[in-house]
């Protein structure tokens, strides 16, 4: 199964992937995309550069209900650069489905993000501090949230975000799909997964692509 066509249905997504020049799914994408489409919780471990962002972005975009105005997916990342990158990856892959993604991070005045979040928003990518800030202000509404992604889990933990991540998880709907991505796996990550994920499928790929 070396073809995006065998993994996903929506032609608008296949067209966007082709525009990006992705000719075939990477190894981790071949395993993660079907598991996410089957509504499973997934822990995926693979090296940096192996295509983890698209591994979750592609199936989430396929599952997004375009007509819903409130955010359906929240992606936590450790840095501002990653928040912007993930937001852009969702925008690119979701271009022809007209997916709206917003990045929230601490070093930008909050009013820009508040204005963006008032519009239709399918996906929010952000760093934990600012995500929590928006939740507390009521500018990030989570009652329609269905997909929760912890990306670069190892970095989030190294940078000391564990308490904030757990505080955010407690605000999320219990009925949701949780996906965790990391380049390394540790006891701390396993504890987090055991606490907040439901029967997660563990997918690991050791190679580069
Ligand atoms: P990781 O999160 O595993 O470090 P990224 O999601 O940042 O990896 O992807 C690394 C690079 O690979 C990015 O430039 C991305 O655009 C590219 N990429 C992702 N999927 C594919 C694919 N199927 N074919 C070619 N390039 C891809
Ligand atoms: Mg990544």
Tell me the per-residue pLDDT of 6-51, one tens digit each, with 9 for 90 and over: 999 999 999 999 999 999 999 999 999 999 999 999 999 999 999 9
Q: What's the pLDDT band for 1 if we cut at 50, 70, 90?
A: low
Minimal CA–CA distance to 201: which of 39, 71, 79? Answer: 39
Q: Which ligand has its closest atom nearest to the C-alpha of 77? A: 2
Residue pLDDT, tens place only, 128-158 = 999 999 999 999 999 999 999 999 999 999 9
Query: Which ligand 1 atom is at minimum distance from the Cα of 89?
Result: 16
Q: How confident is the model at residue 21, as a pLDDT?
A: 98
In the reported structure, the alpha carbon of residue 48 is separated from the centroid of ligand 2 by a whole-number distance in angstroms of: 6
* Spatial contact of 20 and 96, defined as CB atoms under 8 Å apart: no
User: Using CA atoms, how far apart are residues 89 and 86, in angstroms rounded to an integer?
Assistant: 5
Contact residues for 158 (Cβ-Cβ < 8 A; gap 6+) = none
Q: How many CB atoms lie within 10 A of CB 20?
A: 12
Q: What are phi and psi of 198, to 5 degrees?
A: -110, 115
- Return the residue whose CA atom lies nearest to atom 15 of ligand 1: 51
Crossing angle of helices 187-196 and 162-169, rounded to 10°? 10
Rounded to an integer, the average pLDDT of 201-205 is 97
> If you average pLDDT over every residue of the chain, what do you get?
97
Residue pLDDT, tens place only, 112-125 = 999 999 999 999 99
Q: How confident is the model at residue 207, as a pLDDT?
A: 77
Residue 189's alpha-carbon distances to 53, 103, 151, 153, 196, in angstroms, are 18, 24, 12, 7, 11
Minimal CA–CA distance to 103: which of 95, 90, 94? Answer: 90
Cβ of 207 below 6 Å from ligand 1: no
Q: How confident is the model at residue 209, as a pLDDT?
A: 62
Cβ of 51 below 6 Å from ligand 1: yes
Query: Which ligand 1 atom is at minimum distance from the Cα of 25?
Result: 23
In the reported structure, the alpha carbon of residue 43 is separated from the centroid of ligand 2 by a whole-number distance in angstroms of: 13
Q: What's the pLDDT band for 208 if we cut at 50, 70, 90?
A: low
Q: What's the pLDDT band for 2 if we cut at 50, 70, 90?
A: confident
DSSP H helical ranges for the chain: 11-19, 27-37, 52-63, 80-93, 110-118, 128-137, 153-158, 162-169, 187-196
Query: Which ligand 1 atom is at minimum distance from the Cα of 50?
Result: 3
In the reported structure, the alpha carbon of residue 181 is separated from the centroid of ligand 2 by a whole-number distance in angstroms of: 7
Q: How confident is the model at residue 67, as a pLDDT?
A: 98
């Amino acid at each position: 199964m070396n073809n995006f066509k065998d993994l996903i249905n929506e032609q608008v997504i296949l067209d966007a992937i082709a525009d990006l020049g992705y000719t075939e799914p990477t190894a981790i994408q071949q395993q993660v995309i079907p598991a996410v489409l089957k509504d499973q919780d997934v822990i995926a471990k693979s090296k940096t550069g192996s295509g983890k962002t698209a591994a979750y972005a592609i199936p989430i975009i396929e599952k997004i209900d375009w007509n819903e105005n409130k955010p359906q997916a929240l992606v936590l990342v450790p840095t501002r650069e990653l928040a912007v990158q993930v937001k852009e990856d969702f925008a690119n892959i979701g271009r022809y489905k007209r997916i709206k993604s917003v990045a929230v991070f601490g070093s930008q005045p909050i009013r820009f993000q508040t204005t963006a979040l008032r519009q239709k928003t399918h996906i929010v990518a952000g760093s934990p501090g600012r995500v929590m800030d928006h939740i507390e202000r009521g500018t990030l509404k989570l009652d329609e949230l269905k997909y929760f992604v912890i990306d670069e889990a190892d970095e989030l933990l190294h940078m000391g975000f564990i308490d904030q991540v757990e505080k955010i998880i407690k605000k999320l709907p219990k009925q949701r799909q949780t996906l965790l991505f990391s380049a390394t796996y540790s006891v701390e990550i396993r504890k987090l997964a055991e606490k907040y994920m439901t029967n997660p499928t563990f997918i690991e790929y050791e190679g580069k692509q």
